[in-house]
A = this chain, B = another copy of it.
């Protein structure tokens, strides 16, 4: 088992590649963007094609009943400020498939990454996994054109499966949506299409230091990658944050809590919090209004649902309409870290979210994705938020705007931050928070539905290489 975890480590430490020189990557990225044409415009719901409002429920649906729908969600919980509310939710029962092909070149694992257009993307295109498919694509129920490289994922026995688990998407927006996150290693030659390029993990993570280049689907899969192998620190200074990150990922030194303690904490939190949700008709959702162009909360400070028309393609123009979710302003996702007995630990919370598959998952220290965190009532402050917003610049070890999935979200980006809190940060934390090493997080992510999407995405940003060095 360790063998492929060592391969992942070596790839994370590879800032350049024999097949894809680093300096060629961004020029290629922008040239591929320019090779596609693309127009998106907001339209009234009434102008949507093949999408419509179901008369009785008010749900926004495709005429085929497939893809996804916008419905209402009734939520009751003993977690957080509000014990009961209703909201719109994206209902997409079909399991998605996020797959990355991996292959060794000169003994270094490379990942076949794709420049992919999605309607809601900032930059129009972003770096995506080899394959984004639905279960219908996979089983061939829809007769349409199969996505590229799908065939590699049919008979998994032919390849080595390195990562393979069901993972959640945004629990505040989706109703129990899950994707199969999978990385397989192939040995044969793979034809590389123009929108695709082999990259090391170090190269992908370098792109993560730039705002809005690497899409959410890539980040969630990359976030599942475990690292292994003995190391002498690869020459990184012992007091550098990146060395401490690596040691924490490789389980060097003693963790503050045993796995048994963390599992019991997780079980206790699931036992403690209730979550009772049910789908309701969209037109029965209180406090939300439907206009001609937008379904929005009366206070206008949550997300809204809009309708868009998209035209894409350079030669043959493809055009369609679809709903997208629009956020009012960027949210904030932050992981606070500190050394405990010399080992770097992350401060993780058990967070209840209405659309989560099983009550709660492990989340970053601070997760405020609606922007509403600025107006929380007195006495209900989000734990550690003030700390994160006021931390000194030299304690911020990672800071970038990263986009949510452009197939469902309209130009939505959240600020992702990693903080080195220093050894004075209190060890004692509220009951639903716990300190974990990076290795421990990477163990739990191997099992379905333990780390939420915000947490997995933040883990993907924890590069062992200094982006400055890669860029030089």
The answer to the question of A382 belonging to the interface, with a C-beta cut-off of 8 Å to chain B, is no
Whether A161 lies near B264 (C-beta < 8 A) is yes
Of B166, B268, B358, the contact of A270 (CB 8 Å cutoff) = B166
Binds B, one of A56-64, A254-262, A339-347: A254-262
Please, which residues of chain B bring their CB within 8 A of the CB of A260?
A: 1, 4, 161-162, 164, 446
A263 CA to B1 CA, complexed, in Å: 12
A1 CA to B251 CA, complexed, in Å: 14
Most buried by B among A259, A260, A270: A260
The answer to the question of A156 belonging to the interface, with a C-beta cut-off of 8 Å to chain B, is yes
Please, which residues of chain B bring their CB within 8 A of the CB of A446?
A: 259-260, 263
How far in angstroms is the closest Cβ of chain B from A4? 7
Please, which residues of chain B bring their CB within 8 A of the CB of A234?
A: none
A161 CA to B268 CA, complexed, in Å: 11
Please, which residues of chain B bring their CB within 8 A of the CB of A10?
A: none
Please, which residues of chain B bring their CB within 8 A of the CB of A182?
A: 264, 267
A446 CA to B447 CA, complexed, in Å: 11
How far in angstroms is the closest Cβ of chain B from A77? 14
Whether A156 lies near B358 (C-beta < 8 A) is no
Of B1, B258, B270, the contact of A1 (CB 8 Å cutoff) = B258
Q: If the complex has contacts A258-B1, A259-B1, A448-B358, are A164 and B270 also in contact, measured as CB distance less than 8 A?
A: no
A260 CA to B267 CA, complexed, in Å: 24
A residues bordering B, Cβ < 8 Å?
A: 1, 4, 95, 135, 156, 161-162, 164-166, 180, 182, 258-261, 263-264, 267-268, 270-271, 357-358, 446-448
A-B residue pairs, 5 tightest by C-beta:
A164-B264, A161-B264, A164-B267, A1-B258, A447-B447
